[in-house]
Amino acid sequence: MSDLPEIREGEVALPRDPSLEPDAGVVFIGRIHTPWQRGDCPRNIAMAREAKPDTWIEVKADFVPALAGLDVGQPVMLLYWMHNARRDLVVQAPRHRSGPHGTFALRSPNRPNPVAASTVLITSLDMEAGRVGIDAIDCFDGTPLVDIKPWLPTIDNPPA
Amino acid sequence: MSDLPEIREGEVALPRDPSLEPDAGVVFIGRIHTPWQRGDCPRNIAMAREAKPDTWIEVKADFVPALAGLDVGQPVMLLYWMHNARRDLVVQAPRHRSGPHGTFALRSPNRPNPVAASTVLITSLDMEAGRVGIDAIDCFDGTPLVDIKPWLPTIDNPPA
């Protein structure tokens, strides 16, 4: 656990890491490639976009046929796995927020299931290589990818 | 596998269910309660909203402190586990679409990681019971919940 963030004042951890007894398994369908490493990652996706990074998804060969029907310019929701996160924190005190907050009121990577979601634009598609260019994302190079979904306003926007 | 959907014409399945060798584990943080069972579930969330259903999330006791900071009226993204889905289909031919499509170009529950995402409104909050009312959702009663995130337009809307 030495690579995980330390617990800060006001934070609450479960007595036992819940991920030790999983209810289901996820498979990594590929990796996200970004210029970012620990220490130089933008704080949010808006800042990542300003940097105009070279960012792409590499999909594993088995899953390449599942890309058929996606288009350049299309918005997609990516689900990805924040594999350096703590999974036992139910209350957190992020540096950029005042006071502690419940994990489900935050977008922190530290959560029982460290699945992050971001909506991005497809900028290129190479079906032979299984390579999907995206406009930007604020995660480390090599982050495991869990899903790609077409972004649909009727499902992904709050009701009017 | 007998409870899973059958493979239709034009669909492509992997030779081996990828979930047999998971890369990481998810924990179910609670359940979604809806009026819907197999056979009477609305086809999409817009149709579920028209029915004005009594719908709520029941969060397991361990995770109730993680709700602190959420508010009634707030939009949240729910991630939930479509536990009756097939995980081996890379190309699918849904009844309501013409021709086969890649799984990542569809919102079908059948996907390598059957994590669905919907954005809903919080309609009530009972922190003692760990019960969060939501406006509607189009999943079966008892669907396992994986995450609750505050919906944020900067992350969840496509870039302008």
> pLDDT, tens digit, for every residue of B75-109?
999 999 998 899 999 999 988 888 899 999 999 99
pLDDT digits (tens, 9 = 90+) for B107-141: 999 999 999 999 999 999 999 999 999 999 999 99
Distance CA A12, CA A14 (A): 7
Check residue B1 and give its pLDDT.
45
**Length of chain A in terms of residues written:** 160
- Considering only CB atoms, which chain B residues are within 8 Å of A90? 62-63, 65-66
**Are B81 and A24 within 8 A, CB to CB?**
yes
| A66/B91 Cβ within 8 A | yes
Contact between B29 and A113 using a beta-carbon 8 Å cutoff = yes
pLDDT of residue A1: 44
Q: What is the rounded average pLDDT of the residues B59-66?
A: 98
pLDDT band at residue A32 using 50, 70 and 90 as cut-offs: very high
For residues B48-62, average pLDDT: 94
C-alpha span between A24 and B24 (Å, rounded): 9
Average pLDDT of the segment spanning A139-155: 97
B160 to A19, A46, A93: CA distances (angstroms): 37, 11, 31
d(CA A105, CA B38): 32
Nearest to A90 among B63, B102, B121 (CB): B63
Distance between A69 CA and the closest CA of chain B, angstroms: 6
CA dihedral sign, ordered B99, A73, B114, B59: negative
- The residues near B75 (Cβ < 8 Å, ≥ 6 apart) are A158, B119, B120, B121, B122, B150, B151
Structure tokens at B124: 């009530």
Instruction: State the average pLDDT over residues A30-49.
Output: 92
CB contact under 8 Å between A45 and B144, yes or no, is: no
A57 pLDDT tier (thresholds 50, 70, 90): very high
Token look-up 């190479």 returns A126
CA dist., res. A57 & res. A138, Å (int): 13
pLDDT at B2 > cutoff 60: no
Closest CB to A158 among B87, B121, B149: B121
Q: How confident is the model at residue A96 (pLDDT cuts 50, 70, 90)?
A: confident
Name the pTM for this structure. Answer: 0.95
CA distance A80 to A141: 12
